[in-house]
Amino acid sequence: MQGQNVTDSAKVSGVFTQRAYAVRMKKLAEMFWNIRGVYRVAGVLDIGTHMSLVKRGNGRFVVVDGCDPDAEQRDAMLALTGGGELVDAVVHVHPFHTLHVETTQRLFPDATLFGTARHRQKAPTMPWSGAPVEEWGEDHPLADVFDLSVPDGVQFVTRDERVHVASVLVRHRQSRIVHVDDTLNVMAAPGILRPLLPQSSLRMHPMLSRALTPVAGAADAYAAWARGLAARWADTPTVCAAHSAVRDLPPGGFTREMEAALDKVAGTLKRHRERYG
């Protein structure tokens, strides 16, 4: 059921409004929904944000990340999850995506709350559970539904808070769909231009050079992580990127696009090696 809309697309004189593209809830697989939200840079340019809803084998749910849903999205999520009572957990996976933590917790107040160390620092009164997500091993609390990956060779939290390169990438085991914030980008035209202009292939974050750990070997570690992910998650059919689109991939597409994205940052990695060894 690829791309099935839960909310109706808004149209004006046959032209999709920006809301129709920026705010929607889609069923991307039998057990996976992605909710697109609005996030405006400087209050003007909407680069989007997102959250995902995943159904477990026992019929209960896990929420990945958070956004500020509109009334239709909220009603759809609550209808799907028994008024929120069927949501077992909410997990926040990007250290700099903290804006909607409290909004999401109010929507699912009984869910177990997981997040990164920075989420805990920014919202210390929230009922955080367990270890920070970036420290989880293979036997993590949501291992029945997700595979996780944290990029090597980069600082998970940088001193420059504009640099949002690292995050915990989430792969739903059943559908093989990847949910990612910032670490991988898919660029798409805004508003009514979106159906007219093609979206980009997968891209590494444009501020990668500022996130690489300033030590010898960091560039090689990052490249090895990217190649390893391209191989391990080779059968990924869809990547849900926070900013600003969902990308459907043909067979083998994830590996090809990851390798191409790595080639595009070869200069950045080369300069890092030249400076640090």
| 145-179: pLDDT as tens digits | 999 999 999 999 998 888 888 999 999 999 999 99
Mean pLDDT of 81-99: 92
Nearest C-alpha neighbor of 55 from the set 170, 145, 171, 169: 145
Kindly compute the dihedral angle of the four CA atoms of residues 56, 174, 6, 45, in this order, to the nearest 10 degrees: 110
pLDDT at 209 over 60: yes
For tokens 């939290």, the residue is: 157
- pLDDT at res. 116: 96
pLDDT at 4: 37
Q: CA 99 to CA 256: how far, in whole Å? A: 33
Q: What pLDDT is recorded for position 199?
A: 57
Say what the alpha-carbon torsion angle 68, 70, 72, 74 is, to the nearest 10 degrees: 30
Q: Which pTM was predicted?
A: 0.85
Q: State residue 266's pLDDT score.
A: 98
| pLDDT-derived band at 10, boundaries 50, 70, 90 | very low
Calculate the dihedral angle through the C-alpha atoms of 56, 118, 265, 257, rounding to the nearest 10 degrees.
Answer: 10
Query: What integer pLDDT is reported at residue 58 of this predicted model?
Result: 96
How much is the average pLDDT of 119-133? 96
